[in-house]
Structure 1
Amino acid sequence: MNLILLSPHDLTDDGHVCVTDPRRLAHLREVHRATPGDLLTVGIQGGPMGKALLTELSAERALFKLDTLDQPPPPPLPVHLVLALPRPRMLARTLEHVTALGVKEITLLHTKRVEKSYWQSPELRADKIHQHLVLGLEQARDTQLPNVTLSKGFRPFLEQQLPHLLNDRRGLVAHPGMPNACPRDIKTPTLLLVGPEGGFIDWEVEQLLTAGCEGMHLGLRILRVETAVTALLSRLF
């Protein structure tokens, strides 16, 4: 936790902060080894970052007095990530990684090679998704939560959502065997589509290319989804 991320519910009427959830309290005690009088880095969810003075720390709560909140969060990446829904354990790690890298728009998509059972996973509950996004923000010192959309049908996505998403973005489909390599250091708003572990099927690739997306590859190696997404974002931006 490189940032103590505060929700609006943590703020008190007198301008102080009260943290009561066990995870953050344990982190303050065991990782930060914080003691009253320490000046720690904090951020308001959806707002600025700065410093707060720890005035009390117990097993039940931590009290802070806000000092300065004058730093904006880091700029987001100019990308909307469309990710074929990964296995639940991989989904958790991937959400944390892409949030830490600055992705603010995420669509989780059903494709032919996505197991239907994945959509029943507890990892897709709103509270679990929020938990992983928060961990990513704390890691990267950011306060702006990404928006996560669930799209459970490929054809409805193709017909109803994709044209709108491509209105002002460059569409890039990451898929092995594409003729062009992944571009580097682009500045334009981008729609990045990444398939499941087994990749998009040929029909899905054809439909995405017909809709106006460009195919690209990361080389000859076949990577896990969480590795591929991190490598793609790092190379693109």
Structure 2
Amino acid sequence: MNLVLLTREDFISHDRVRISDRRMDHLVKVNRITQGDTLQCGLINHNMGVGTVTRLTASFVELSVTLEHEPPRKLPLSLIIALPRPKMLRRIITTATELGVGEIFLINSWRVEKSYWQTPWLADHHIREYMTKGLEQSKDTVLPKIHMKRFFSRFVNDELPSFLKNHLCLLAHPKGRQSLPTQVAENVILAVGPEGGFIDREVETFERIGFMCGTAGKRIMRVETAVPYLIASLFS
């Protein structure tokens, strides 16, 4: 935990917070905090700064906080991902959050198992947990926007075109006929398919609305590997 991520409910006055959940456990057991220590803190979706440990008991820790700095900017990237397996989903969302992705669309695809949409791990509180871990790791406070789109054709044909203006639209596919660009300086919408990639009809649907289908190289990667690799290639 590189940042103590705070909520409004943590505040007991305008500049003092009290925490007693897993964050306290981590600070005590891993960081081994003592009274007087200074920690990096941030209010979720707001400013960042520092907190000084003013009280430490067996059941809670109190901090005096000063939050005067803006969080880091997000990448100019919207990420579209075919809904992966639940365990992989957790890792992908956390990693994308760490890397500064500001918007994620989880969509259906022919190769997405229907059962994936029924998993309890898609519940709002679980999704928030995955993002929170990414923010704590990367020292950020702003949660990505998450959209769930269960109908492929409705989303790609009817909704997605309104987002495309002034964006470089890329579709990562293992059978892409050209290489995806690197080190771009534009707003990007990047679509990543399920294991095995989008089927031909889905690729054609993306291409029809202006997406460039490309590959990241000869190696075929798992989605959880491809996502950070692609993001790093685009914005390194």
Cα distance in 1 for residues equivalent to 2:141 and 2:67: 12
* Unmatched segments (≥5 aa) in structure 2: none
User: Retained in 1: the 8 A contact 2:157–2:205?
Assistant: no
Counterpart for residue 50 of structure 2? 51
- After superposition, residues 96-115 of structure 1 pair within 5 angstroms as 96-115=94-113
Counterpart for residue 229 of structure 2? 231
- Choose 149-158 or 174-183, whichever is displaced more: 174-183
Q: What is the TM-score normalised by the length of structure 2?
A: 0.97
Give SS of 1:2's match.
coil
State the Cα distance separating 1:14 from its structure 2 match: 4.4
State the Cα distance separating 1:62 from its structure 2 match: 1.2
Q: What is the TM-score normalised by the length of structure 1?
A: 0.96
Cα distance in 1 for residues equivalent to 2:14 and 2:159: 45
State the Cα distance separating 1:70 from its structure 2 match: 2.4
Cα distance in 2 for residues equivalent to 1:14 and 1:107: 36
Cα distance in 2 for residues equivalent to 1:148 and 1:188: 21
Counterpart for residue 10 of structure 1? 10
Amino acid at match of 1:142: D
State the Cα distance separating 1:212 from its structure 2 match: 0.6
Amino acid at match of 1:32: N
Summarize deviations over 1:74-123 as a string: whole Å, max 9, x none.
Answer: 11000110000000000000000000000010000000000000001111
Counterpart for residue 68 of structure 2? 70
Counterpart for residue 42 of structure 1? 41
Amino acid at match of 2:130: H
Cα distance in 1 for residues equivalent to 2:75 and 2:30: 29
Give SS of 1:17's match.
strand
Cα distance in 1 for residues equivalent to 2:9 and 2:184: 38
- After superposition, residues 127-146 of structure 1 pair within 5 angstroms as 127-146=125-144
* Unmatched segments (≥5 aa) in structure 1: none
Cα distance in 2 for residues equivalent to 1:53 and 1:218: 45
Summarize deviations over 1:57-86 as a string: whole Å, max 9, x none.
Answer: 2332110011x3222211100011000000
User: Retained in 2: the 8 A contact 1:25–1:59?
Assistant: no
Cα distance in 2 for residues equivalent to 1:200 and 1:143: 33
Aligned partner (choices 173, 190, 193) of residue 192 of structure 1 = 190
Paired residues, number: 235
State the Cα distance separating 1:3 from its structure 2 match: 0.3
Amino acid at match of 1:225: V
RMSD (Å) for aligned C-alpha atoms: 1.0
Counterpart for residue 219 of structure 1? 217
Identity in percent: 43
- Choose 115-124 or 70-79, whichever is displaced more: 70-79
Counterpart for residue 60 of structure 2? 61
Cα distance in 1 for residues equivalent to 2:139 and 2:24: 18
Cα distance in 2 for residues equivalent to 1:57 and 1:13: 17
Cα distance in 1 for residues equivalent to 2:149 and 2:15: 40
Correspondence 1:90 to 2:88: yes
Any runs of at least 4 consecutive aligned residues in structure 1 with deviations exceeding 4 A, and if so which?
none
- After superposition, residues 193-212 of structure 1 pair within 5 angstroms as 193-212=191-210
